[in-house]
Copies of this chain bind each other. A is one copy, B any other.
Amino acid sequence: MPKTPIPDSETRATAEHAKDLRLWLRMLACTNLIENHVRAKLRSDFDITLPRFDLMSQLERSPQGLKMGELSKRMMVTGGNVTGITDQLVREGLVVREDSPKDRRAYIVKLTAEGRRSFRRMAEAHEAWMVALFSTMDEKQRDELYDLLAALKNSAAKVAAKR
């Protein structure tokens, strides 16, 4: 008998389950594996949490700044209290709050120049980690995976929208 593997989300999938369920659990296992690796690297190399990195990443894409509600919606990583993370980044001088030019009652959040520099250093490392994580797949496999995920995203988005 083979050695019992370390359990992950795919371990739940047994032969009687539909193939689509196995596919999903395998995808979830991959995503968790990569996300946990990124979380650990961000902590060890930059002493930052994944939700904070994620928040800065959203702001970097919006140089004009984002309202808090918009920022919350765009955050891809759970486990972060957007207000709390923003407060902390403001104290560290990486992020600023400004009055919204369009809405007197709202304010917008932006990266500072320092925040932008800090994010760019992390983003460069993050990209290198991805290259390493995908390194044993050849280019053809990665291209195929990229195309298949486009098909899945399209398929899943249609179903999710119908709900």
Contacts and interface: CB of A to CB of B under 8 A. Distances in A.
Nearest to A162: B132
Interface stretch (A6-14, A87-95, A97-105, A108-116): A6-14
Interface residues on A, range: 35 or more
Interface centre among A58, A79, A131, A149, by most chain B C-beta atoms within 10 angstroms, is A149
A3 interface: no
A126 B21 contact: yes
A137 B149 contact: no
A81 to B, nearest CB: 11
A64 interface: no
A133 to B, nearest CB: 5
A132 B159 contact: yes
